[in-house]
Amino acid sequence: MQPLLNDLAMMSQAVLFNIYFAAASIPIGFVLAVFLALGKASPNPLINWLSRVYIYAFRGSPLFIQFFMFYSLALSLNLAVWKPLGISGFVLHPLFMGPLVLILNTAAYTGEIFYGALRAVPRGEVEAAKAYGMSRSQQFRHVIWPNLIRLAWPAYTNEVVFLFHATAIVYFALPVIGAQADLMVTAKTLFERDYNAFLHFSVAALYFLAVSLVVFFLFGLVYQRLMRHMPAPPRMRFKPKWIR
Amino acid sequence: MNDDIAFWLSYLTNGKHLAWYASFQFTIFAALMGGGLAVVFGLTGATLKNSRFLPLRLIGTIYSSIVRGVPDVLFFLFFPLAFEQAVEWVVASQICTPESIAAQTSAWPPCKEANWFLGTTEYLLLASVSLGLVYGAFATNVIHGALRSVPTGQLEAARAFGMSPGQVLWRIQIRQMWVYALPGLSNVWMLVVKATSLLSLLQIADIVLWADRLGAPNFLPAVGLVHEDWRWRYYLVLFVFYILVTWLSERAFEAITRRVGKGILSEARV
Amino acid sequence: MKKIMLAAIAALALGGSAMAQETVRIATEGAYAPWNFLDESGKPAGYEIDLAGAICEKAGLTCEFIVNDWDSIIPNLLAGNYDAIMAGMSITEERLQTINFSDEYFPPDPSRYVALAGENINFEPLAGARIGVQGGTIQAAYAQANLATDNTVVSFSTADQAVADLSAGNLDTIFADGAYVDPIVSASNGAIEYTGPEIMIGEGMAIGLRKDETELTTKLNDAIVALKADGTVDSLIAKWFDGRGPYYSE
């Protein structure tokens, strides 16, 4: 019992790093994703092509490689760009690089979700909005966006949980500052001390599971609010999907 | 100019680079084996979930939700370690004598004879199995859904022919569900492919490890070509490689879906 | 049926370890020139690989090198994935708690700070600096214990990555084995130079072994003693470390 409690205590600090990585990347990734989805649906060939390529590239390659690539790329620009700007230590800090790559990655996945939802927005409603003489921005704000976010919310919840899981590899790919350690690094260090794989990895898994459940719960509340106009608001359950 | 080309050609074909190219085999093997096993575990999980016997149904459900509730990398690291220790424990219970247990000074395994050496081959197999287990949980859901998509008329007809429930499952339901499972399985395959980038975490000298070693800055002529930090170029190659694999897989799955879906998908979509 | 399966697994594992007894598997990092690195042909090479060849020949053993990341090199030794470590590993009290060491094959050597040329770092006291180390090394332990409160200690998984970050100006200094940075300083044409004090940590480098491998330890030690006496160790050190030594023979 004591070792279990020890692990729980040790990892309660570590989980904050994972939560930080996820929390820092979700809002910006969300905004970027909206632009990517609109870009992918845009009639402008250049914007359309760029958004498509971006989404395809980041969804089609492993996050692990993206971490390595962007860190070493940022490093090679250090003397020419970051140093003169005086932001060297900041840009290459894992607490900045980690969320940055996660943002680039999740924006692509979320962008694809939003694009799918955008295409599912009922045409009739958009046409009605046009017939009312709404401007394009009015159409987006009053008709397309509310539909889009409701359609996309369950899949987006899922993506947020995946993003949280993806924070597990940040410190496997980036240099570690001081004694900072996230859940995976802590579990691995503890394991290497006494070989109790079952204990340490299970506790880390427990933390991941617990935070995932909290995410599902909070996002479920938002979903209920989004769907409050429906006669029987659909409930979201803990059900990680197979798609990412 | 010609000298340049000759130089780069010989640099890119030196033994270190050849070893890098050769290491793609690990990635490809792990992807194929992991993908295949994911389908096997997915079928098992889905059959369990469909079972009429409650405990089996629970096992299927718990398997698919727990594994998907934790990061793939965690399970990927945990499973080989746990499996190794489990095997050593079983072996130890069979062969360890009290003397050999007493002679053992380190914490694990219980006696020296029970130790199991893990080399690249063993790790690669274990890595493939853990990929299979993780993404089998995703495939469970895909196949579970696909099994339900098989038109009930087909199953009723089979029962009317006097087939046993097992026969209905194996001969009709599973044969016909592939068409409905393909889009989902294609997604699972993409996830498996991307997860193969984690092989180096299990001490397999895979493409990622070689990219790091080849790209690392070198100052010593004895070690090889003296160059500054070239890592991002090597990672860019891997980045493009994975995108290409994704693209090829998509085309392949499209072709398969078109072929096996002839006459079925068009009806189902009416 | 269950019994048969268990027996089969046992036989498999036994067969595995019985076969493994014939060759001694030595783990190395393959990223710590001149001790060990992967040469142009992609195979391990360097001082330790040459030395292992000589030791194994002397001791009548067949040896084989396995490349393993530095950060998990001791755990995987203890887990039994190989029998020995030759990876520029210094003898320390902390490591002696989990593993054994053979006789040293590389003498205690001061650890050094290096920095980009022209960076004037104040070492009295060292404060506010970004110090790069390789994680899990004696230098990392020293920096964590003595420098971490006033400085930022950045750990990398290989020493080469730390050098890359130093060259790119992301670190003020690297703290590493003197004999590791020596060739880098001299090959950098003045771009990277020594700075700060020399600090003596570690008690020389040796082969890391599991504590229960007494027989293998004795065999290797006998060979090391013989090779030190006949000058082989010194000549290999001189060959790989730019004429250093002699340390062990007259």
Domains of chain C with CATH codes = 23-108+203-240 (3.40.190.10), 111-199 (3.40.190.10)
Q: What is the rounded distance in angstroms from the CA atom of residue A60 to the CA atom of residue B191?
A: 9
The answer to whether residue B1 sits within a structural domain is no
The predicted model gives B147-167 an average pLDDT of 90
Looking at chain A, which residue has its C-alpha nearest residue C74? Answer: A192
Distance from CA of C215 to the nearest CA of B (A): 13
Distance from CA of B10 to the nearest CA of A (A): 25
pLDDT value for B111: 77
pLDDT value for C174: 95
Asked if residue C159 lies in contact with residue C88, where contact means CB atoms within 8 angstroms, the answer is no
Q: What is the rounded distance in angstroms from the CA atom of residue B4 to the CA atom of residue B11?
A: 10
pLDDT value for C20: 43
Name subunits touching B (3+ CB pairs < 8 A). Answer: A, C
Strands of C23-28's sheet, edge to edge? C62-67, C23-28, C84-85, C205-209, C100-106
From the centroid of its chain, how far is CA B222?
Answer: 38
Of the partner residues B14, B87, B212, the one whose CB lies closest to the CB of residue C40: B14
Q: How does pLDDT run along chain C (250 residues), one tens digit per residue?
A: 444 444 444 444 444 444 444 689 999 999 998 999 998 888 999 999 999 999 999 999 999 999 999 988 998 898 888 999 999 999 999 899 889 999 999 999 999 999 999 888 888 888 989 999 999 999 999 999 999 999 999 999 999 999 999 999 999 999 999 999 999 999 888 899 999 999 999 889 999 999 888 899 999 999 999 999 999 999 999 999 988 878 987 6
The answer to whether residue B257 sits within a structural domain is no
Q: What percent of chain B stands above pLDDT 70? A: 96
The answer to whether residue B225 sits within a structural domain is no
The answer to whether residue B2 sits within a structural domain is no
pLDDT value for B30: 96
The model's pTM: 0.91
Q: What is the rounded distance in angstroms from the CA atom of residue C249 to the CA atom of residue C235?
A: 10
CA angle at B130 for the pair B175 and A201, rounded to the nearest 5°: 140
Count how many Cα atoms sit within 13 Å of the Cα of residue C182 in the half-sphere of its side chain.
17
pLDDT value for C79: 83
Chain B residues lying within 8 Å of C187, measured CB to CB: 219-221, 226
| Sequence-distant (≥ 6) Cβ neighbours of residue C226 within 8 angstroms | C58
Answer whether residue B5 shows pLDDT above 50: yes
Q: Touching check for B229 and chain A: CB below 8 Å?
A: yes
CB contact under 8 A, B15 and C43: yes
Q: Touching check for B205 and chain C: CB below 8 Å?
A: yes
Tell me the pLDDT band of A60, cut-offs 50, 70 and 90: very high
Tell me the pLDDT band of B109, cut-offs 50, 70 and 90: confident
Q: What percent of chain A stands above pLDDT 70? A: 95
pLDDT, one tens digit per residue, over B28-82 is: 999 999 999 999 999 999 999 888 888 999 998 888 888 888 999 999 999 998 8
Phi-psi region of C204 (alpha: psi -120 to 50; beta: other; left: phi over 0): left
pLDDT, one tens digit per residue, over B125-139 is: 999 999 999 999 999
* B220 φ/ψ angles, rounded to the nearest 5 degrees: -105, 115
CB contact under 8 A, C130 and A89: yes
The answer to whether residue B227 sits within a structural domain is no
Q: Which of A218-227, B9-18, C186-195, C241-250 has the lowest mean pLDDT?
A: C241-250
Residue B89: both structure tokens together: 């424990």
CB contact under 8 A, B220 and C34: yes
H/E element, C156: strand C152-156
Looking at chain A, which residue has its C-alpha nearest residue C159? Answer: A175
CB contact under 8 A, C39 and B216: no
The predicted model gives A231-244 an average pLDDT of 58
Distance from CA of A221 to the nearest CA of B (A): 20
CB atoms within 10 A of CB B222: 16
pLDDT value for C11: 47
Count how many Cα atoms sit within 13 Å of the Cα of residue B130 in the half-sphere of its side chain.
25
pLDDT value for B24: 96
pLDDT value for C5: 47
Tell me the pLDDT band of A132, cut-offs 50, 70 and 90: very high
CB contact under 8 A, A60 and B247: yes
Answer whether residue A233 shows pLDDT above 80: no
* C242 φ/ψ angles, rounded to the nearest 5 degrees: 55, 50
CA angle at C137 for the pair C134 and C143, rounded to the nearest 5°: 80
Tell me the pLDDT band of B89, cut-offs 50, 70 and 90: confident
Q: Which CATH superfamily is domain A2-226 in?
A: MetI-like (1.10.3720.10)
CB atoms within 10 A of CB C1: 5
Q: What is the rounded distance in angstroms from the CA atom of residue C216 to the CA atom of residue C61?
A: 10
Q: What is the CATH number of the domain that holds B170?
A: 1.10.3720.10
Of the partner residues C16, C38, C67, the one whose CB lies closest to the CB of residue B117: C16
Chain C residues lying within 8 Å of A72, measured CB to CB: 164
Answer whether residue B104 shows pLDDT above 80: no
Mean pLDDT of chain A: 91
Q: Touching check for B211 and chain A: CB below 8 Å?
A: yes
Longest pairwise C-alpha distance within chain B: 78
The answer to whether residue B4 sits within a structural domain is no
Of the partner residues B105, B108, B219, the one whose CB lies closest to the CB of residue C188: B219
Of the partner residues A75, A175, A191, the one whose CB lies closest to the CB of residue C168: A75
- Indicate the number of domains in chain B: 1
The predicted model gives A164-175 an average pLDDT of 93
pLDDT, one tens digit per residue, over C171-212 is: 999 999 999 999 999 988 889 999 999 999 988 999 999 988
CB contact under 8 A, C130 and A78: no
Q: Which domain holds residue B98?
A: 22-204
Chain A residues lying within 8 Å of B73, measured CB to CB: 168-169, 172, 184
Answer whether residue A242 shows pLDDT above 60: no
Place of tokens 């909206």: A34
pLDDT value for A243: 52
Chain C residues lying within 8 Å of B224, measured CB to CB: 39-40
Of the partner residues C132, C156, C169, the one whose CB lies closest to the CB of residue A88: C169
